[in-house]
Amino acid sequence: MNQDNQGLDFSTVIASTVHDMKNSLAALTQAHSQWLARLPEALRSGSEQGVMEHEFSHLNGMLVQLLGLYKLGVNQLPMCPDYHELDDFIEAQLAAQQNLLQHRDILASWRIETASPLGFFDRELVGSVVANILNNAIRYAGHTLLISVSDEGEQLLLSINDDGPGFPARMLERQQEYVQGIDGKSGSTGLGLYFAARIAALHERNGVKGRIEIANGGVLGGGLFRLYLP
Amino acid sequence: MQVYSQKSFLIVDDFSDFRSSARSMLRELGVRDVDTADSGEQALRMCAQKRYDFILQDFHLGDGKKNGQQVLEDLILDKLISHECVFLMVTAESSQAIVLSALEHEPDAYLTKPFNRIGLAQRLEKLVQRKTLLKPILQALDRGRPAEVLAACAELCKKDPRFAPLCLRYRADALRDLNRVDELEKFLTTIIASRATPWAYAALGNLLYKRNQLAQAQGVYEQALKAFPMMPGLYDGLAEVLVALGESKRAQGVLEEAVRLSPLAVRRQMMLGKLALSNDDYDTSSKAYRHAVNQGQSSRYKDPESNLGLVQALMNKNAGNGLDARTRVEINTVLSEVAKENVEDQGLQVRARLMKAASLQQAGDAETAAKLTEQAMARLEKMDQFFSVEAALVVATQLQKLGQEAAGTSILKGCVETYGDDPKVMQSVAQLTDDPNVLGAVTEAVDLNRQGVRSYQAGQLSEALAQFRRALTLQPKNISIALNTAQALLRIGGEAPPPAIMDECRACLGSVTGIPKSDNRYDRYRKLHIRAFGA
């Protein structure tokens, strides 16, 4: 670490601390689930477990996002797109949130309506975006949520829809500002949208960049997040 | 749901908590056969004993130890795992692992900590499905038959064209291995035009570089780096091209960028050390070589040239100022490592001793320097291996500085005899000597060799052979001339060459058995050797 306090770059300090925090959290989550497995059945469920699961996942998502934002800021976010099987990608995203979905008793389903079973994108980056959006959707969903993937012209459209109250009207109106990172006080949801928009835009084909959109409605009537990948 | 009861698993992680947690998840999935290792070194030993169907490899295994990427490279290059094995790289943060990974060997998937049993089960299940789909391709890869890989890819693409993109990489690698260069170029260009990936850029850049289309290669790498500025492998490729173009300063800058992104790479550090040394940037050079030496301890790419380079950089850095105690200790350590670990290599033994003598001379101990020089010269006389050009030039310079003019000249003469057909070599030699016996020795032979090449290309084989033979009589140790003669003989001899031709061919190759493995004609030498000697 840098000994010279005057030369201490605060964002680098945060980034390396976040890295350690992420490791710590991973160990904590792992230990928690092992401990849980040893508890008698009656003690395993309960609302506190749900809170812990949700906050573990939320914390992890925020740390990943924070590291991602730091790397975006210093132009060090690696982008390595490739072909991925869409069902595998979606299933993996849902599996990571499985405990949480169970505790909240939310039915998550997915639908793939694309011509090709493969999509072309950076799996890690798009994965971290979807994880955050899913985590958010689970928080607000009533009973169900739906992930769907379809073709939108030449682009791949990934939507996450829930049956909750939807995004506040103010957020919908000002989504362009979140996306551009203009509103610095918008809290974690706003930051999440900014991150998602940046990751989307890293995906570019023939001059067309990826983008995001939020709305209310969709099949389930609640919040609807759309990610377009060229 | 997959049945894992008959499958073998290996978990590699330095934390026992993680090992036991992963083990219990696997048990819950019905896995019976689970082994664990706490280091990459141990994992490699275990894989040499047993074939695993699945490996869960942690990326960070502690400082100074092999990381997960190095373990994967060792497993693949030493053929310790089948292509059918599912290799999962477990990381706290996968973006870092991706930057540190090499483009040529990628894990089947990354798994980010923390993960749960359901997440693990999902990944394993899906990866097994994919490996089942690709099975004929993977089996052909295990057999080392690129033509069969292509056939298997074609079969899969016909059966289910939707999965064709999963074959792109296998097809490109197979075309490269089959040396179907023109086809490969078209194929890669199409991939890049449609959906560019870092590996496709690297493959195209490398193809153009090997074909000596340097300006095009440079263009491809520059385009690639605009799209993927975080991929260190692409910087390596660009640096290689810039070196070939003679732009060693720019090449150094490019490599420094790559080292900033990914400092844990022995070959990259070594290349940077070498470049900076040639650019007279001794600080950068000694730092890079030092990294290469230290990291080399746990790497398959450990190379004594890094040790020798480090000493050279340290001496140049302190030229005119003697050598301080700390530097002398470092020099002693890295040089004795070369001597100890390369007992059979006469060339390295000579070079390590001369390097030591030169450093002692710089430190002011002329007496010991002289003794060591004598020792080195005694070994030199018995040596039947050729020095590489670079090594020969360094050795000759050192001998001159250590007061052994005659020995230095004889090394240069040997160098000209072996490599004199290359004008660049002649230029370098001319910087070290004016001796007409050295410089003028090759002109006629080189001329004849050039005429021979022209005749050969025009299909006038017997004329070519006559010219090569005359050149070889003048310069019997010249690698190019010897290989050209051998090749012309085999071509004329046809399917079953008569004994006289085979004998002559063997004699040609026999006179250049000292060819260093680092020489870029070594592959060609090996191929001709196999045809002439059957092994």
| A23 part of contact set with chain B, CB < 8 Å | yes
| Partners of residue A144 on adjacent β-strands | A107
Q: How many CB atoms lie within 10 A of CB B4?
A: 22
Nearest to A76 among B15, B17, B230 (CB): B230
Q: Of B71, B99, B133, which residue is a domain's last?
A: B133
The residue of B112, B191, B261, B262 whose CB has the most chain A CBs within 10 angstroms, and thus the best one to mutate to test that interface, is: B112
| B115 part of contact set with chain A, CB < 8 Å | yes
Residues of A in contact with B93 (CB under 8 A): 19, 22, 64, 67
Task: Give the number of domains in chain B.
Answer: 2
Residue B102 has pLDDT above 80, yes or no: no
Are B409 and B377 spatial neighbours (Cβ–Cβ below 8 Å)? no
Q: Does residue B64 or residue A136 have the better pLDDT? A: A136
Average of per-residue pLDDT values in chain B: 91
The model's pLDDT over B115-135, given as tens digits with 9 standing for 90+, comes to 888 899 999 999 999 999 999
Considering the domain boundaries, does residue B420 fall inside one? no
Topology classification of domain A82-229? Heat Shock Protein 90 (3.30.565)
Nearest-by-CA chain A residue for B103: A80
The model's pLDDT over A128-171, given as tens digits with 9 standing for 90+, comes to 999 999 988 998 999 999 999 999 988 999 999 999 999 988 88
| A124 part of contact set with chain B, CB < 8 Å | yes
pLDDT band for A183, please (50, 70, 90 cuts): low
Mean pLDDT check: name the lowest of B27-41, B204-218, B267-281, B497-511. Answer: B497-511
Region B472-497 average pLDDT: 89
Locate the DSSP E strands across B47-203. 54-58, 86-91, 109-112
**Cα–Cα distance, B305 to A117 (Å, whole number):** 49
pLDDT of residue B27: 93
pLDDT of residue B356: 94
Residue B93 has pLDDT above 80, yes or no: no
Q: Give residue limits of the domains in chain A.
A: 5-73, 82-229
A94 CA: distance to closest CA in chain B (Å): 8
pLDDT of residue A137: 92
Please give the span between the terminal C-alpha atoms of chain B, in angstroms, as a whole number. Answer: 49
Q: Of B133, B160, B193, which residue is a domain's last?
A: B133
pLDDT of residue A120: 96
Between the alpha carbon of residue A134 and those of residues A57, A58, A96, B109, B114, the distances in Å are 10, 10, 10, 22, 17
CB neighbour list of residue B487: distance below 8 Å, 6 or more residues apart: B528
The model's pLDDT over A90-128, given as tens digits with 9 standing for 90+, comes to 999 999 888 889 888 899 999 999 999 999 999 999 999
Instruction: Using a pLDDT cut of 90, give the percent of chain B over it.
Output: 62
Considering the domain boundaries, does residue B226 fall inside one? no
Residue A208 dihedral angles phi and psi, to the nearest 5°: -95, 130
The residue among B500, B509, B501 whose CA lies nearest residue B528 is B509
Are B532 and B502 spatial neighbours (Cβ–Cβ below 8 Å)? yes
CA angle B26, B30, B36 (to 5 degrees): 35
| B104 part of contact set with chain A, CB < 8 Å | no
Instruction: Using a pLDDT cut of 90, give the percent of chain A over it.
Output: 44
Nearest-by-CA chain B residue for A64: B93
Quick one: CA torsion of B311, B317, B321, B323, rounded to 10 degrees? Answer: -30
Q: How many C-alpha atoms does B303 have within 13 Å on its Cβ side?
A: 19
Q: Of B105, B133, B161, which residue is a domain's last?
A: B133
Considering the domain boundaries, does residue B79 fall inside one? yes
Q: How many residues does chain A have?
A: 230
B6 CA: distance to closest CA in chain A (Å): 24
Residue A3 has pLDDT above 60, yes or no: no
Considering the domain boundaries, does residue B503 fall inside one? yes
Q: Does residue A83 or residue A10 have the better pLDDT? A: A83
The model's pLDDT over B350-375, given as tens digits with 9 standing for 90+, comes to 999 999 999 999 998 999 999 999 99
Domain range for B475: 443-533
DSSP three-state, residue B91: strand
**Cα–Cα distance, B94 to A47 (Å, whole number):** 32
Considering the domain boundaries, does residue B499 fall inside one? yes
Secondary structure letter of residue A228 according to DSSP = E
Six-digit token string for A64:
């990943």
Prediction ipTM score: 0.84
Tell me the CATH number at B82.
Answer: 3.40.50.2300
Region B290-305 average pLDDT: 92
Considering the domain boundaries, does residue B508 fall inside one? yes
CA angle B345, B329, B303 (to 5 degrees): 35
pLDDT band for A1, please (50, 70, 90 cuts): very low
Secondary structure letter of residue B518 according to DSSP = T
